[in-house]
Structure 1
Amino acid sequence: MCGIFCLLSLSPFESPHDQRLHQNLSRRGPNSTQDLTITHPNPFYRCLFSAHVLHMRGALTPQPVRDAGGNVLLWNGEIFGGIAVAPEENDTRVMASQLSACDTPAELLSVVSRVRGPWAFVYYQQAQHCLWFGRDFFGRRSLLWQFDAAAEALTLTSVGGACSPTGADPWLEVPAAGVYRVDLKAGRVGGTGAVTLEVYPWATAGGGLPSSDKVPSNCVATMNQWGLGLPPPVSPLNTSVPEVGAEVLRSSSASRVAAGDLEEVLASRERTGEADHLNAVLSEAVRRRVQSLPCDIRDESSPPPPPPPNDHASVAVLFSGGIDSMILAALADRHVPAQQPIDLLNVAFMLQEPRTLKPQQQAAKKKSERRHTDRHKPTADSTNAPEVSSPFDVPDRLTGRAGLLELRALNPERRWNFVEVNVTQEELQRARRERVRHLVQPLDTVLDDSIGCAVWFAARGEGFVARGGERTPFASPAKVILTGIGADEQLAGYSRHRVRFQTSGHQGLVQELAMELGRISSRNLGRDDRVIADHGKEARFPYLDEDVVDYLNSLPVWRKADLSLPRGVGEKLLLRQGARALGLGSSALLPKRAMQFGSRIAKMENSHERASDRCNRLLSA
């Protein structure tokens, strides 16, 4: 993980830097900072490369990396497959070596398209006088761009600076539409004064040029002259739908069991090989991400570092106790060394005031606790629940505690650090003003504010853990954070999927799911990458592993979800069946609850806002 920055100047005059931008980049990569400037006299161009490295694997490799041929690489990614990287190797070095051997655009595209894992990069080819850059197929790593017409400068960066930069257009996310190339010999196009961006798109049905509103002004995106593209890393989505008679029969059958107990409904569903196959590819995706762990800092000549101490978690999970995070935790348990803890990061925003539970609420709470503890003895951390709830007993805190009990039953030998991250309104407002609003941009909706703030606090990992009946302050040291994004988008987890199914059947649902993956880079992933990396930690997305997406894309939609069944069963049905196979209990039946509601951050602000409204707090905080 790195914070990467490139300033391409087409004017000999120096372009000013935004100091906040540099600070934001340095927080992403606290282990190494280095700059490199390359100037060419005729035609004139200047490239300033800056990199801030978070050391994750192999020997610490400062960036930018410049080879013997003068080529320069800024690499913000992880290679989990496609290109061989030995355990002791650094993937930046491997990628630089692979690119150095490329002479033609086709050769470079072949290297980039083979990478399995998240990436964003900037690459300068000295002999060809060109600048390449782009993001992976899903856009799992952030890359922003901006053109300053007055300074004649194009900026590429992992994270922006001030919300309203003076003299330049607003920041935009580089569309994850393919790879881009700037011919530096051409400079600006005569007459128009525009910079030409050659696009090498992903060769998919919807692949092509990004829309003009996604491209900085004074820049023009054109298809490359060779007509080259990148082969997509996953197969196309299976768009088949059941025959009309079968669809009606399924819906009729579901309506008869809708009123039954959810446990019985799920148990009545035939367990198929698809659930076991999904568990297998998900397990492998998690293994790749938890076994490529951070190392202690050393240079290339130093011996390998010792293993981390047993009380030091290398892996954390953004944890609500819902099915997505429960499966990630259960699979991480298979692959993280037994002596190491796993941190479960659970965020809650303060309710207005503590509330005394009514007798029926107390009874329901105790019944829920018994259901989750009937397979193992209660621990000191889970007994004697107070009769007066905490102001941080939000829905995700309660399901998180219940999920913790399931995980302890699954592996009582593992130390599970359930980190209660508690946030007051004052802390929220300060963090938004000082940090989060700069990270969320260029997104600006109420939803972006809520999710961005919640993920930022959760990823920071500062809170309390319960040990021996007492709550003690705790800060998670884990650099790798697993997040469940991608599960709902592929397995029909959102309420809008159910609405679409009710109005348009399976055909409409397939169209909705196709749209979800197509826009996930612009709606979610760049934002979440910027927010999590602000703590010098790396987000990893097992549900968006290429093999996982490829397998889910191969299945017909009715094998993945059955939205004629009740909430808590029908959505993400295949994942729920897989959770049962892993030994999970009631968490397999929890309906989808959005993070902004489960953490109660939405209750701390204007409850009459719509998620899609522009958020003034991000602009004026």
Structure 2
Amino acid sequence: MCGICCSVNFSAEHFGQDLKEDLVYNLKQRGPNSSKQLLKSDVNYQCLFSGHVLHLRGVLTVQPVEDERGNVFLWNGEVFSGIKVEAEENDTQIMFNYLTSCKNESEILSLFSEVQGPWSFIYYQASSHYLWFGRDFFGRRSLLWHFSNLGKSFCLSSVGTQISGETNQWQEVPASGLFRIDLKSAAISRCIILQLYPWKYISSRENIIEGNVNSLSQISADLPAFVSVVANEAKLYLEKPVVPLNMMLPKAELNTHCSNISNVPLTRETLQVFLTNVHMKEIIQQFIDVLSIAVKKRVLCLPRDENLTADEVLKTCDRKANVAILFSGGIDSMVIATLADRHIPLDEPIDLLNVAFIAEEKTMPTSFNKERNKQRNQCEIPSEESSKDVAAAADGRPDMSVNVPDRITGRAGLKELQAVSPSRIWNFVEVNVSMEELQKLRRTRICHLIWPLDTVLDDSIGCAVWFASRGIGQLVAQDGVKSYQSNAKVVLTGIGADEQLAGYSRHRIRFQSHGLEGLNKEIMMELGRISSRNLGRDDRVIGDHGKEARFPFLDENVVSFLNSLPVWEKANLTLPRGIGEKLILRLAAVELGLTASALLPKRAMQFGSRVAKMEKKNEKASDKCERLQIISLENLSTEKETQL
């Protein structure tokens, strides 16, 4: 994980300008292990590169990296497959070595077509004055662009800033392919032309059968008049890393292998009926295998203490977790946790991050009320210590109950995991968030990370993910409750399961009105828009804690496997909630030894954590969220001073 940024100026009067302080601060939050800036000047333009690294694998490689020819590279990604990276090597340097050896644009495209894993990058080719940049096919890493008026400058960055009064705000770079700008030409013409090299899928007969989702006109729609997006002159493209969605429809009425399922109680045995079918059982095992490999790649690419003494190994209670999981106890997080347990060393704890929002603060302990009033009078944001006091007080008071739905299922899920793997230390981290803390940290931190997304849904999910991934809470153990902060640098999340496996209620609605054909189209749409709807936001929010989000369900091999299956082998929406949606995942859970969690209906994070409608009851998820609106620069500075 890194914070990467490149600011380009075409006007000599602005040469030498530094990045805005707020932008540098946001970038450093993502990359706490090293920071460096590099200035590259030409007669017609100037580029300021800024790199901030979160060190996770190999030798710490400070960014930006530069070679003897003046080429510059910024990389925010993980190479999990496709390009060989040894355990002791750093993928930033490996990718840069490959890039600088590319003789033409076709070889650059071949390189990025081979990489499997999340990435965004910025690459400056000094000899040709080209600036290349882009995001992976799913958009798992954030990259934003900002164009100034009249084409005098533009900026690319992992994260932006929200400042009132600015008309041209940051926008997400579409995950539509690679972009290339001729900086010398742009400086002379004062027109920025973005050449796009789109993603395309090639059939075995070498016929293009599936192009990129976003058309040139869609990408250009929200850009200033002096910026245009055009197809690259050579009509080259990147090869899509996943196979197209199987749109096949059944020739006859489906046999569910359990025709009377709607009339019996939903139990684990109900699901086991499906596994009596040999074909279905084979598919489930294949799914477990491919998902297990995806999890393995995401939990082993980490620095670990390999030289512990025997005594140190025995002291597992002193070991720190390297991996955390956004954990609701639902089917997605339970399966990820179970598979992570297969591959993480047994003497290493796993942090399960479970968030709950506290709606009422009417009867707090007297000591806490005094402390809260003191902070309010001093205009201070609650410290981490006072947040823990809120959590502890809340957990012991009926009127401050944090027994929200995800907390209840989370605790039940913990018991299941302890039964499946009793030798593992499972740190169930109860993250409890008060209304006061939510409002203040949304205003000072979270709203700047969610931007440019701005709906009520973005607010709810963004806040829930930010607080959960921060990992400040409490552990409830046999010897009592103790404060805890997760220091795990890697955070696994189950995003991608609902989109591919018909997990949302809208999938069921679409199926009821348009059958399997409509359901297929809905799934295709969900996966096609996941980069702009979810992943950039979640990457910015989790990365703000100096942690890296990893998405096993969006591993290229997992997506290709699921795309290859007909829809009825993944979900069966003729069956009740708790079975029909994500059927293939529920059956995998049964095979993995899970029990009650395999039958839990889908519950969105914003409702399970109770952050949705906490402040306003009558708003819709798609409404623009007033709470995310820009605050003035003066107020922003005042708020930040109170945190110091």
Q: Same fold (TM over 0.5)?
A: yes
Give me the whole-angstrom Cα distance separating, in 2, the residues matched to 1:533 and 1:184: 30
Kindly state the Cα deviation for residue 87 of structure 1 after the two structures are TM-superposed: 0.3
How many pairs align?
576
2:613–2:619 contact (8 Å) kept in structure 1: no
Tell me, yes or no, if structure 1 residue 493 matches structure 2 residue 492.
no
Structure 2 residue aligned with 1:552, among 551, 555, 562?
562
Give me the whole-angstrom Cα distance separating, in 1, the residues matched to 2:261 and 2:32: 55
Structure 2 residue aligned with 1:277, among 280, 286, 300?
286
Tell me which moved more, 8-17 or 100-109.
8-17
Kindly state the Cα deviation for residue 161 of structure 1 after the two structures are TM-superposed: 1.1
Question: What are the Cα deviations for residues 121-170 of structure 1, in whole angstroms up to 9, with x where unaligned?
Answer: 0000011110000000000000000101257111000000124463x511
Tell me, yes or no, if structure 1 residue 426 matches structure 2 residue 431.
no
What corresponds to 1:455 in structure 2?
A: 465
Give me the whole-angstrom Cα distance separating, in 1, the residues matched to 2:95 and 2:307: 23
Q: Which amino acid aligns with 1:288?
A: K
Structure 2 residue aligned with 1:266, among 260, 271, 275?
271
Give me the whole-angstrom Cα distance separating, in 1, the residues matched to 2:481 and 2:2: 34
Secondary structure of the equivalent of 2:422?
coil
Structure 2 residue aligned with 1:615, among 625, 635, 644?
625
CA RMSD of aligned residues (A): 2.1
Structure 2 residue aligned with 1:227, among 218, 235, 245?
235
Q: Which amino acid aligns with 1:172?
A: Q
Structure 1 residue aligned with 2:194, among 191, 194, 197?
197
Q: How does 1:65-84 map to 2 (within 5 A)?
A: 65-84=65-84
What corresponds to 1:323 in structure 2?
A: 331
Label 1:241 to 1:72 Cα distance change in 2 as closer, same or farther (>3 A). Answer: same
What are structure 2's unaligned runs of at least 5 residues?
A: 202-209, 364-394, 632-644
Give me the whole-angstrom Cα distance separating, in 1, the residues matched to 2:243 and 2:222: 26
Tell me which moved more, 455-464 or 263-272.
263-272
Q: How does 1:230-241 map to 2 (within 5 A)?
A: 230-241=238-249
Identity of aligned residues (%): 55
Q: Which amino acid aligns with 2:270?
A: V
Tell me, yes or no, if structure 1 residue 246 matches structure 2 residue 245.
no
Kindly state the Cα deviation for residue 603 of structure 1 after the two structures are TM-superposed: 3.5
Q: Which amino acid aligns with 1:495?
A: S
Give me the whole-angstrom Cα distance separating, in 1, the residues matched to 2:116 and 2:3: 20
Q: How does 1:465-544 map to 2 (within 5 A)?
A: 465-544=475-554
2:164–2:630 contact (8 Å) kept in structure 1: no
Give me the whole-angstrom Cα distance separating, in 1, the residues matched to 2:424 and 2:627: 41
Question: What are the Cα deviations for residues 278-308 of structure 1, in whole angstroms up to 9, with x where unaligned?
Answer: 1101100000000001469xxxxxxx98799
1:294–1:479 contact (8 Å) kept in structure 2: no
Give me the whole-angstrom Cα distance separating, in 2, the residues matched to 1:257 and 1:163: 56
Tell me, yes or no, if structure 1 residue 596 matches structure 2 residue 580.
no
Kindly state the Cα deviation for residue 528 of structure 1 after the two structures are TM-superposed: 0.1
Q: How does 1:162-201 map to 2 (within 5 A)?
A: 162-164=162-164, 166=166, 169-188=168-187, 190=189, 193-201=190-198
Give me the whole-angstrom Cα distance separating, in 1, the residues matched to 2:420 and 2:211: 43
Give me the whole-angstrom Cα distance separating, in 2, the residues matched to 1:83 and 1:267: 40
Question: What are the Cα deviations for residues 520-566 of structure 1, in whole angstroms up to 9, with x where unaligned?
Answer: 00000000000000000000000000000010000000000000000
Give me the whole-angstrom Cα distance separating, in 2, the residues matched to 1:87 and 1:305: 16
What corresponds to 2:27 in structure 1?
A: 25
Secondary structure of the equivalent of 1:169?
coil
Give me the whole-angstrom Cα distance separating, in 2, the residues matched to 1:486 and 1:151: 38
Q: How does 1:210-225 map to 2 (within 5 A)?
A: 210-225=218-233
Kindly state the Cα deviation for residue 391 of structure 1 after the two structures are TM-superposed: 1.3
Q: How does 1:341-360 map to 2 (within 5 A)?
A: 341-352=349-360
Give me the whole-angstrom Cα distance separating, in 1, the residues matched to 2:622 and 2:299: 35
2:133–2:180 contact (8 Å) kept in structure 1: yes
Question: What are the Cα deviations for residues 440-466 of structure 1, in whole angstroms up to 9, with x where unaligned?
Answer: 000000000000000000000000001
Give me the whole-angstrom Cα distance separating, in 2, the residues matched to 1:165 and 1:51: 27
Normalized against structure 1, the TM-score is what?
A: 0.89
2:349–2:427 contact (8 Å) kept in structure 1: yes
Q: How does 1:36-51 map to 2 (within 5 A)?
A: 36-41=38-43, 44-51=44-51
Label 1:178 to 1:351 Cα distance change in 2 as closer, same or farther (>3 A). Answer: same
Secondary structure of the equivalent of 2:541?
helix
Give me the whole-angstrom Cα distance separating, in 2, the residues matched to 1:217 and 1:479: 41
Q: Which amino acid aligns with 2:134?
A: G
What corresponds to 1:117 in structure 2?
A: 117
Give me the whole-angstrom Cα distance separating, in 1, the residues matched to 2:150 and 2:308: 52
Q: Which amino acid aligns with 2:476?
A: A
Secondary structure of the equivalent of 1:473?
strand
Give me the whole-angstrom Cα distance separating, in 2, the residues matched to 1:605 and 1:68: 56
Tell me which moved more, 233-242 or 466-475.
466-475
Kindly state the Cα deviation for residue 620 of structure 1 after the two structures are TM-superposed: 5.0
Tell me, yes or no, if structure 1 residue 7 matches structure 2 residue 16.
no
Give me the whole-angstrom Cα distance separating, in 2, the residues matched to 1:53 and 1:319: 27
Give me the whole-angstrom Cα distance separating, in 2, the residues matched to 1:525 and 1:561: 24
Secondary structure of the equivalent of 1:226?
coil
Secondary structure of the equivalent of 2:593?
coil
Give me the whole-angstrom Cα distance separating, in 2, the residues matched to 1:16 and 1:126: 21
What corresponds to 1:571 in structure 2?
A: 581
Q: Which amino acid aligns with 1:195?
A: I
Secondary structure of the equivalent of 2:221?
helix
2:356–2:433 contact (8 Å) kept in structure 1: yes
Label 1:403 to 1:138 Cα distance change in 2 as closer, same or farther (>3 A). Answer: same
Q: Which amino acid aligns with 2:530?
A: I
Normalized against structure 2, the TM-score is what?
A: 0.86
Kindly state the Cα deviation for residue 206 of structure 1 after the two structures are TM-superposed: 3.8
